[in-house]
Each structure stands twice: as structure tokens, then as C-alpha cells.
Structure 1
Amino acid sequence: MVDSTRRQEALLDAAVALLLNRGYDKLTMVDVAEAADLSRTIVYRHFASKRELVDAVAARALRGYTVRWRKELANERTPGTAASIFRAAFRVVAQDALLAAIATRDRDVFGRYLRDPEATMPGPAGLGPLGQLLGLLQQAGAVRQGVDLASVAVVLDALTAAVLRAIQDHQDRPDGPSPESLINTVTEMIDRMLTPEAPDTAAALAVIDEQLDRTTT
């Protein structure tokens, strides 16, 4: 079992590097096997297809993200506010090329995978996970009432992708706003848009921890 787990992790590590360097459309299972120094037969023992392999890559990345995000959130001055939740998310994702590619639905990385109806990587927010979380935070008193959460989720999803692309482009255009300035500006906008006068941050953190417990057990 240990050897099997190690082989699977090696395959996922190899797939991440190849995805970021070549993209999904040019990725082959043979490439992954060679990069992991394993046989193609072993690759197919773990993953029935390239799409299933990338499903697993995304799932592992998102599991790791939730742990890192929760730790980053705890370091915020006022953890539990909408602004702190997004600021922590931006800081974690901006430091990880794969997470940034997932968040921006990077076509150079994921190519035809994004059009595969069987792919399990989360799609744009809408009424999905982000909209559901905002609804729970609203019930907890950390998001103000009267907000169209489905629309807010779509806007925030698009805004997140735009900010992450700008952060990625900063190396090529260092005269523009710094990543930290971009993060602070967008989270201030989120704060003004969503935070009630007296947010119940303790209730918000309880909701977040409950949701994380559900996804990790």
C-alpha cells in the first residue's frame, strides 16, 4: 500500500510539472510514466485516462489549498470577515502556479480538459461552492443581507481570475501595481460590498471549519 501510494504521488507530481510546462493537450500518459520513472502499465493501474489523472491532480491541489488557506486565514487581523477570507485565498493561490491555473481556468494549462463534461475540477462559481459558502456566511451574520449572492459569486470569480492574471504578469510589467497592492485593493472592495456593520466573525469561522471538516473526512 505504501509503495502504491508513493507511486501515485510520483505520478501526480510528474503530471503537475508536465501540465505547467506543456499543457493538457500535449500531455501523454507515456510522458507522465517517463517523468515519474515508472511504466505506462503502472500509470494505467492508477488512472484510467488522462482526464482522470488531471482530475486527481486538481483534487490534490485543492485539498492542499484548503489547509494552507485556513492557516493563512488564522493570521489575518480580523479572520472571519469576507475581506479576510478572500485576502487569505489570494495570498495562497498567488504563490502556487497550479492553483493559479485552476483559479483562472488557464487554457494554456488545461486546454480541452476545460471542455470535457466528465472533468471534475470545479467550474466557475455561480451558484456553486463559492455561492454556497457566501450563503452560509450570510446566515452566520458575516455577509450583509439583501445581497444577490449568485451574482456576487460570478463577479468575484471573474475578479479573482483577473487579479491573479495581473499578479502573474507583474514580473513582466514591474512598473504596475504590486501583488500586495492588488490584493489589498480588491479585498477592500469586497469588504465594502459584503461586510455588515457588526459581522459575526466567530460564527463565520465556525461555518468555515465545519465545511472544511466535511471536505476532509
Structure 2
Amino acid sequence: MVDSSRRRDALLDAAAGLLLSRGYDKLTMVDVAEAADLSRTIVYRHFASKRELTDAVAARALADYAVRWRTALRDEPTPGTPASIYRAGFRVVARDPLLTAIATRDRDVFGRYLRDPAATMPGPAGPAFLGNFLTLQQQAGVIRKGVDLASVAVVLESLTAAIMTAIRAHHDEPDGPSPEALIDTVTEMIDRMLTPDEPDTDAAMALLDGLLDQR
């Protein structure tokens, strides 16, 4: 059982690296077997197809993201506020090329996988989900009253996509804004727009912990 688990992790590690370096469309199961120093039979014992393997790569990356985001959030000065949630999440994603590719649905990395109706990698949350989450945050006391949450949800969805794309586009440009500068700028905007004078961060963190524990 231990050997099987280690082999599966080795295959996922190899596939993640190859997705970033070659992309889904050029990736083969033979490539993954060779990169993991395992036989092709072992690969197919764990994953029936390249799509299923990529599903597993994305699922593991997102599960790891949830753990790292939760830790990063608790290190924020005011954890539980909308600004802290976005800043912690952005920072975790920006430091991980695979998570950045997932967040931006990078076609160079995922190619035809993104058009496969059987693929299980989740897409963007969307304004409806964000609106519901913002409502819960407002009820918890970390978003001020009187804010048009439906409009805010659309704005935040657009900002998230724009910032993640900018981070990817400007990552290697010495004269462009750093990921940290982009993150700090957008989260300061969110803070000024949404956070009340005395946010109830304890209630907000209890809410978030409850939502995460339901996953």
C-alpha cells in the first residue's frame, strides 16, 4: 500500500512537471512513466488515461492549495476580512506555477484538456458563488453594511482573473510590477471598499473554518 501511494505521488509529480514544460497536448503516458522512472504498466494501473492523470494532478494541487491558503490566512494581520482572504490566496497561487496555470486556465499548459467535458478540474467560481460567500462574510461582520454585494462579486471575479493573468504575463519582466506589488494594490482596494472600522475577524474565521471543514 505504501509503495502504491509513493508510486502514485511520483507519477503526479512527474506529470505536473511535464505539463508545465511541455503542455497537455504534447504529454504522453510514456513520458510520465520515464520521468517517474516507472513502467508504462504502472502508469495505467493508477490512471486509465492522460485526462484522468491530469484530473488527479489538478485535484492534488487544489487540495494542497486549501491547506497552504488556510495557513497563510492565519498569518494575516486581520484574518477573515475580504482583503486578507484574497491576499493570502493570491500569494499562495502566485508562488506556484501549477496553481497559477490552474487559476488562469492556461491553454499552453492544459490545451485540449480544457475542452474535454469529462475533465474535473473546476473552473472559476463565478459571481453567483462569490455573491453568496460575500453575503456570509457580511453576516459575520467583516463587510460593511449597505454594499451592493452582487456588483462587488462581479468586480472581484474580474479583478481575480486580471491579476492572475498579469502575474503570469509580467512574472519575468524586470520593469513590470512584481506579483507582490500587484497583490498589495488590489487587496488595498478591496480593504478600502469593503472592510468596516471594526471587523469581527473571529466570527469570520469561524465561518471560513466551517466551510473548509465541509469540503
The alignment's TM-score, normalised by the length of structure 1, stands at 0.89
User: Matched residue of 2:117: which SS?
Assistant: coil
- Number of aligned pairs? 215
Q: CA RMSD in A?
A: 2.0
CA deviation string 1:166-185 (max 9, x = no partner): 22333442222232221111
Name 1:195's counterpart in structure 2: 195
Gaps of 5+ in 1: none
Give the Cα–Cα distance (whole angstroms) in 1 for the partners of residues 47 and 9 of structure 2: 12
Name 2:104's counterpart in structure 1: 104
Q: Is the 8 A contact 1:143 1:199 kept in 2?
A: yes
Q: Is the 8 A contact 2:80 2:202 kept in 1?
A: yes
Name 1:124's counterpart in structure 2: 124
Name 1:163's counterpart in structure 2: 163
Name 1:8's counterpart in structure 2: 8
Amino-acid identity (%): 75
The 5 A counterparts of 1:56-95 are 56-95=56-95
Q: Which moved more, 1:171-180 or 1:141-150?
A: 141-150
Gaps of 5+ in 2: none
Structure 2 vs 1, CA of residues 22 and 158 (structure 1 numbering), >3 Å: closer, same or farther? farther
- What amino acid is aligned across from residue 45 of structure 2 in structure 1? R
Structure 1 residue 103, shift from structure 2 partner: 0.7
- What amino acid is aligned across from residue 104 of structure 1 in structure 2? T
Find out whether 1:181 has 2:184 as its counterpart. Answer: no
Give the Cα–Cα distance (whole angstroms) in 1 for the partners of residues 152 and 24 of structure 2: 30
Give the Cα–Cα distance (whole angstroms) in 2 for the partners of residues 37 and 150 of structure 1: 50
- What amino acid is aligned across from residue 82 of structure 2 in structure 1? A
Structure 1 residue 203, shift from structure 2 partner: 1.0
Q: Is the 8 A contact 1:61 1:98 kept in 2?
A: yes
